[in-house]
Structure 1
Amino acid sequence: MASTDSRRADSARDRVVAAARDEFARHGIAGARVDRIAKAARTSKERVYAHFRSKEKLYEHVAAAELAAAADAVHLDPADLPAYAGQMFDYFTAHPDRYRFIGWGRLELVPEPSGEPDADALGSYHDAILGKIETIRRAQRAGDLDPTWDPVDIMAVVSQIAHTWLDQAELAAVTRHAAADPTLPARREAVIRAVTAIFPPVRRSQHDGR
C-alpha cells in the first residue's frame, strides 16, 4: 500500500500537470510561467522543478499525455480518411483547449522550414507523426490508398482540412451569418466531403477477406 507521503506527492504532481495543461494552452511554452502553474497547483515553484527539471520538460510530459488521449479518441484508418477527418473535427471541436495546447507545440517546437527536424525537441510530436505516416505507407502498399501521393502530404492535407474551422476563427465567426446552414454538423459534413473528394474511402466487398 502506498504511503501517505507518496500519495501526497502523486496528488501534487497531478495538480501540477493539470495546472500546466491550462497554462500552456493559454500562453504557449514561452509565455507560460512556472510561478502561475505553482500557484494554480497549490504548491511552490521549487516543488514543480522537483517533479520536472524544466518548463520544457513539463510541457513534454503533458504533451505526451495529450497526444495519447487524442490517439485513444481519434483512430487513423487509412482506408477511410474521411472518417478520420470527421473524428479529428469532433474531438478538437469538443476540446478546443487541447487543440490550442498542441498548436503551441507545433509553433514553438518545430524548427524553421530551412532547418532540419530536431527529434529531441519535437519529442512526442515527432513519434506520433512518424507512426501515422508509416500507417499510411503500409496502406498504400496494401492497395488501400492511392500510392501516387507522398504519405507526408496525405497527413498534412487531411489534418489541415479537419482543422479548418479551428484554424480560421474569423471565418467561423462569419459563418453564423453568411452560411446557408450555419450549424456545426454542416461544417463537419463539409470537412468529410472535402476529404472524400481527394481520398475516397476503400469500398470492400464481403468477399475481400479483409
Structure 2
Amino acid sequence: MTSPDSTRDRIVAAAQAEFARHGIAGARVDRIAKAARTSKERVYAHFRSKEDLYGFIASQELAAAAEAAHLDPADLPSYAAQLFDYFTAHPDRYRFIAWGRLELAADPRDGAPGPALYRDALLGKIEKLRRAQRAGDLDPTWDPVDIMALVVQITHTWLDQTALAAVAPRTAADPAPSARRAAVIRAVTALFPPARPASTPSA
C-alpha cells in the first residue's frame, strides 16, 4: 500500500495538471517529473509511456465524472445540470478530458488506452439511452447518438465557447452564472422533456 504522498501519486497529480494545460502532444515528461519531484526514469518506471500515463488518469477522470453526474435517460435536464455543475467547479478536469476528445478522436491504434476509454464510455451511455427508449422513458424518434451529442454539446457550451463566456457577465440580461446554468437546463428540457417530474438539482 502506497502512502498518500507516494512518488506515483505525485506523478499522477503532476501529469493531470500538465495534460490539462498542454494536451497530450504538448505535455512533456520532463516537466511532469520536475513537478512531481522525481526523475523521468521514475516516471517511466511507473508508466510505460506518456500515452499510458494519460490513459491511466483518463480512466480516473471518467469515473469521477460518472460519479458526479448520473445519466438518467428519463431526466436528461438533471443530467445536464449535474455535468454543468461538476465541470464548472473543476475546469481543469474538463480541459483534461477535452484534450483527450480532441487528440484521441483520430487515433486509430488498436489497444491504445485513451481512445478505447472514451469510446467505451460513450457506447455505454448510448446503449442506456436506447434501453430507455424501448422502455418508453425517452422519445424514440430521436437517434440515441444524436441525443448524446446534443445534450453534451449544450451542457459544455460555456466551457467550450470561452469568448462568449468572457463577455456574458457584461452583456447578458442576467450576468449571474446561475442564469447560464438555467439556460442549459431549459435548452435540454425543450428537446428532451423529463418522463417524470423533474428532479433537477437546485442552484
The unaligned stretches of length 5 or more in structure 1 are 205-210
Equivalent position amino acid for 1:62 in 2? I
User: Percent of counterpart pairs with the same letter?
Assistant: 75
Given the alignment, which residue of 164, 168, 172 partners 2:161? 168
The unaligned stretches of length 5 or more in structure 2 are 198-203
After TM superposition, where is structure 1 displaced by more than 4 Å over at least 4 residues in a row?
A: none
Larger Rg: 1
Given the alignment, which residue of 13, 19, 27 partners 1:18? 13
Task: Give me the TM-score of the superposition, normalised by structure 1.
Answer: 0.89
Query: In structure 2, the residue corresponding to 1:79 is in which secondary structure?
Result: helix
TM-aligned CA deviation for residue 10 of structure 1? 7.7
Deviations 1:93-139 (A, max 9, x none): 00000000000000100028xxxx66634121111111101110100
Correspondences of 1:3-152 after superposition (within 5 Å): 7=2, 11-111=6-106, 120-121=111-112, 122-152=115-145
Task: Give me the TM-score of the superposition, normalised by structure 2.
Answer: 0.92
The CA distance in 1 between the partners of 2:140 and 2:26, in whole Å, is 42
The CA distance in 2 between the partners of 1:169 and 1:128, in whole Å, is 26
Equivalent position amino acid for 1:54 in 2? S
Query: Highest relative contact order (Cα 8 Å, sep 6+), 1 or 2?
Result: 2
TM-aligned CA deviation for residue 181 of structure 1? 0.2
Deviations 1:22-55 (A, max 9, x none): 0000000000000000011111100100100000
Query: In structure 2, the residue corresponding to 1:146 is in which secondary structure?
Result: coil
